Amino acid sequence: MKNFLARQRQEGFFTLRLKSSAGRFSTAQLAAVNELAEKFGQGVVSLTSRQELSIPFVRREDFDAMESFCAEHELKISPIGTIFKQVTACQGTQTCPAGLIDSPRTALELERRHGGRELPCKITCSVTGCPNNCMKVDANDIGIKGAVKPQFIQENCIYCGACARVCPVGAIEVVRPELWTIDRDKCINCGRCVKVCRKSALRGEVGFKISFAGKIFPPFIGDEETLYRKVDAAVEYFAANAKTRERLGKMLERLGAEDFNERINAVQ
């Protein structure tokens, strides 16, 4: 049975956490949160690192009343413990000029698939819209970045070198009159070269890169459904092989990453 109240150091008090929708609450929900905190807590609300709202100083005997209140106001109570934690996300293409993917949509689908699932140990997952990595996804068990795979269209290129100059890792080399190369191993899939090209000589294939325990395992992923299947496979592998209270990174250290990597890469 899931636990929905986090124990506090103050005797007899607990903290209630409320799920966001990939970092968002409506103004109506925020008004309800204010009422909830005033009625059952001490009028204080804080933010968690998982983009939840936290209401401290509630009492266990009030949980049923709080649960009814939340259901009435479309607020979701976040479970605690060894579960798949709320998926965090930046706003991606919904508002950010640098965004490559719709981060909230991806996060909400992962939340629908795995959110709250009980596991041997907790799993954290985060989605960031581009290689700027505002969400610090490498610090999560599962991290997803929006990415662009540049495709060269030779007949449009004037070999001006703008793409090479803007590349932050020096992956592109341009030599007049007709030499253009890219080092795919160096490329971080940021898409800056595609944006700077004024002659449509570069086309960007938008996709995803995944990291597990801070390390990139699968190569560039070109579509959402493949991304979700790979995450599903990783979670299933973890559920079957992790020891109690053993994080994903520690499991990979103990078992070695080769088998895990092969399983994830085999998913198409």
Q: 41 and 154 share a domain?
A: no
Q: 160 and 33 share a domain?
A: no
Whether residue 163 is contained in a domain is answered as yes
Whether residue 83 is contained in a domain is answered as no
pLDDT tens by residue, 124-169: 999 999 989 999 999 999 999 999 999 999 999 999 999 999 999 9
Whole-number average pLDDT of the chain:
95
Q: Which of the listed residues 21, 45, 77 is the one where a domain comes to its end?
A: 77
Whether residue 230 is contained in a domain is answered as yes
Instruction: With a cut of 80, say whether residue 180 has pLDDT above it.
Output: yes
Instruction: With a cut of 60, say whether residue 1 has pLDDT above it.
Output: no
Q: Is 131 helix (H, G, I), strand (E, B) or coil?
A: coil
Least-confidence region, from 25-29, 48-52, 56-60, 184-188: 184-188
The CATH number covering residue 58 comes to 3.90.480.10
| Mode of pairing for the β-strands spanning 125-128 and 88-89 | parallel
Give residue 268's pLDDT.
86
**How many structural domains comprise the chain?**
2
Q: Is 174 helix (H, G, I), strand (E, B) or coil?
A: strand
DSSP3 helix / strand / coil % (the chain, rounded to 5): 35, 25, 40
Give the domain extent around 169.
88-266
**What's the CA gap between 90 and 110, in Å, rounded?**
14
Give residue 131's pLDDT.
87
Q: 137 and 215 share a domain?
A: yes
Whether residue 1 is contained in a domain is answered as no
Q: Which of the listed residues 77, 101, 133 is the one where a domain comes to its end?
A: 77
Q: Which of the listed residues 29, 58, 77 is the one where a domain comes to its end?
A: 77
Beta carbons of 187 and 168 less than 8 angstroms apart:
no
Q: 137 and 202 share a domain?
A: yes
Give residue 264's pLDDT.
94
Whether residue 82 is contained in a domain is answered as no
Q: 30 and 156 share a domain?
A: no
Q: 141 and 210 share a domain?
A: yes
Q: 50 and 183 share a domain?
A: no
Q: 157 and 241 share a domain?
A: yes
Q: 128 and 230 share a domain?
A: yes
Q: 140 and 29 share a domain?
A: no
Q: 199 and 127 share a domain?
A: yes
Q: 212 and 251 share a domain?
A: yes
| Position with higher pLDDT, 2 vs 241 | 241
CA 141 to chain centre: 10
Give residue 2's pLDDT.
66
Q: How far is CA 4 from CA 32, 60, 68, 198, in A?
A: 19, 10, 14, 54
| Joined tokens for residue 222 | 């070109």
